[in-house]
Amino acid sequence: MEYRKLGETEVEASVITFGAWAIGGWMWGGADRQDAVKAIRAAYNEGVTSIDTAPIYGMGVSEEIVAEAIDGIPRDKVQILTKFGMRWDVKQGDFVMHSKDNYGKEIDIYKLASKESVIHEVEQCLRRLKTDYIDLFQLHWPDVTTPIAETMEALGTLVKQGKIRAAGVCNYDANQMKEAEQTIRLASDQVSYSMIYRDIEKELVPYCIDNKKSIIAYSPLQRGLLTGKIKPGHQFGEGDTREGNRFYTEANIIKTNKFLDEIRPLAEAKSATLGQLVLAWTIRQPGITIALAGARNEEQAVQNARAAAVKLSHEEVLFINKKLADSGF
């Protein structure tokens, strides 16, 4: 496993970090708790020391599962990355959507990053995670109802108090990063990035490289699509929001699988799965520090972790990039 520092902080994370969205169940059609615990422990045994979670992932369930999974591991041997700013327990801030929790209860979700809310949330996260500090505390989504400076000042306070080691954001563009930097030195920006979704390469990647900010890539496997296991006509479980997503249209599944067939021989030559090849490509892209990879069971977790050992030459990266361009991605 390879480890990289987040921005200019002392926090080091594994290049493949366990993404704990799916294990929270919410928007993924449920998850088995014991399988999730075993998956995190299996990943840790492969060198994946970092776990990225969030309160909204199952309304606290994901964080509680993470706490259970790392129980017994020395705290300084694991890095907990969690978030704040998505509330389902108050009706304040920027309304996002109506939803249902894992038990079918109707909930309304708001983006809220006021100072009061940040201070409240960190305590809830610490309680659920059963720890006294968080390695990276990230704003989950921009909140247009709260000035960026107010949110960043709250994060600065938490750093001084020792409750968080580093502050980050998610889903910020370059301009929002610049504004936040007037108040605090951010470690990272967590954004969606994959072989077939590369919008950040135009502005955000150059900004982060120039200003020594890490990019944490979420959905590098495009929520499973880039594993090659999702075929035309795939049936998603109840509550799984991938159904209807623009990446999961019949036409795009066919297009994506055609591209994956083009790079499959390279994966086979390296005794790697398609998913491992995709993750290996991701962590070797300019500006990308960490790739998040979710797993619902031990086998998936081990496979994801071993992607870090798949070595790609400059020529092989160029080969993949050409196949992407030829495929229209």
Q: pLDDT digits over 296-312, tens only?
A: 899 999 999 999 999 99
Triad 182, 140, 143: Cα angle to 5°: 65
Range of the domain at 284: 3-231+275-310
Q: Please report, for the domain that includes residue 146, its CATH number.
A: 3.20.20.100
> So what's the pLDDT on residue 244?
66
Q: Stretch 97-109: mean pLDDT, rounded?
A: 88
* Distance, CA of 316 to chain centre: 26
The backbone region for 168, taken as left when phi is positive above 0, alpha when psi lies in -120 to 50, beta otherwise, is beta
Range in 48-52, 118-122, 123-127, 223-227 the model is least confident about: 223-227
What Å distances lie between residue 269 and 263, 281, 311, CA to CA? Answer: 10, 15, 12
User: Which tokens belong to 207?
Assistant: 């900004």
Where does 95-191 have alpha helices with state H? 115-129, 148-161, 174-181
- Name which of 267, 290, 312 is nearest 52 in CA terms: 290
> So what's the pLDDT on residue 29?
55
> So what's the pLDDT on residue 257?
92
Q: What is the reported pTM? A: 0.93
* Distance, CA of 65 to chain centre: 16
> So what's the pLDDT on residue 231?
84
Residue at 238 is within a domain:
no
Q: Stretch 219-239: mean pLDDT, rounded?
A: 82
- Name which of 172, 174, 202, 170 is nearest 286 in CA terms: 202
Judged against a pLDDT cut of 80, whether residue 66 lies above it is answered with yes
Q: Stretch 3-7: mean pLDDT, rounded?
A: 98
> So what's the pLDDT on residue 243?
64
Judged against a pLDDT cut of 90, whether residue 239 lies above it is answered with no
For residue 318, which phi and psi values (nearest 5 degrees)? -65, -40
Judged against a pLDDT cut of 60, whether residue 113 lies above it is answered with yes
> So what's the pLDDT on residue 101?
83
Give the integer Cα–Cα distance in Å for 302 and 39: 8
Catalytic residue selected from 3, 44, 57, 218: 57
What Å distances lie between residue 36 and 68, 218, 292, CA to CA? Answer: 10, 18, 15
Residue at 319 is within a domain:
no
Listed ranges 28-42, 88-102, 141-155; the one with the highest mean pLDDT: 141-155
Q: Is 57 a catalytic residue?
A: yes
For residue 155, which phi and psi values (nearest 5 degrees)? -65, -40
Specify the number of domains making up the chain.
1
Residue at 33 is within a domain:
yes
> So what's the pLDDT on residue 289?
98
Give the integer Cα–Cα distance in Å for 181 and 203: 16
Mean pLDDT (the chain, rounded): 93
Q: What is the pLDDT of residues 156-207, one digit of tens each?
A: 999 999 999 999 999 999 999 999 999 999 999 999 999 999 999 999 999 9
Judged against a pLDDT cut of 80, whether residue 47 lies above it is answered with yes
